[in-house]
Every structure is written in structure tokens, then in C-alpha cells.
Amino acid sequence: MKIKLTVLFLAAVCVPAYAFPAERAASVKRDPFVPLVGVSADVQVEGGAILSVSDVSLQGIIKGADGSYTAIINGEMMKEGYGTQNFRIKKISDNSVVMGIGEEDHEIQLYE
């Protein structure tokens, strides 16, 4: 009888850890802005400078409760008007960002 209770207790304690693998995997979450296939979200730009449209990786767009937009570009969160001497964020919409790089404006679409 004592052995049966010990086995039953061990089964009750050990089985739930293996029966719910999602709980074990919950500590390893993937970045929702990195696509599973296709487009690479890792853009390495020397010194972080955006010198051309090829240096830009639009990874996500967030719409705030107040209706304002924030774009995630090259891993950084940027709002309209943000910029440096090389580029400026001019407009952010639901699925694209218009940015001026040098003297030209470029519309960058969020990948689907």
C-alpha cells in the first residue's frame, strides 16, 4: 500500500511538468517583428547611420491609444519628425513610413 501511494504521488507531481510543454517553452518567446521566413530583420549599418534606403529595415508600426504612430526601424522606435542630419521620418501610417533620406523622399512598406 505504501509503495502504491508513493508511485501515485510521484506520478501526480512529475506528469504535469511533461504534460504541458507550452509552460516550459513560455520562457523562450520569439520576437513578433522578426518574420519566420523571408525578410531578414537584422540590418547592420556601420555606426547606425542611415545613408540610403537600403540601410532601412522597417520592422513594425505601433498605433498608440491617442492615434499617434511609432515605427520600429533598425530595432529603434521612431516617431514622426524624428531624424538626424542624414534622414527624417516624415509620415507614418498603418503599413508604411515616408522618410527623407538626403534630398529624396522614400516610402517604405511594412512587409506582409
Mean pLDDT rounded to a whole number for the chain: 75
In this prediction, residues 50-79 reach a mean pLDDT of: 88
Provide the CATH topology of domain 46-109. Answer: SH3 type barrels. (2.30.30)
Q: What percent of the chain has pLDDT over 90?
A: 25
Q: Record the cell numbers describing residue 40, joined without a space.
A: 531578414
CA 44 distance to own-chain centroid: 16
pTM value > 0.75: no
**b/e code 53-87 from CB counts within 10 Å (16+ = b):** eebbbbbbbeeeeeeebbbbbbeeebebebeeeeb
Residue 51 has pLDDT above 80, yes or no: no
Spell out the domain ranges in the chain. Answer: 46-109
> Is 105's pLDDT higher than 70?
yes
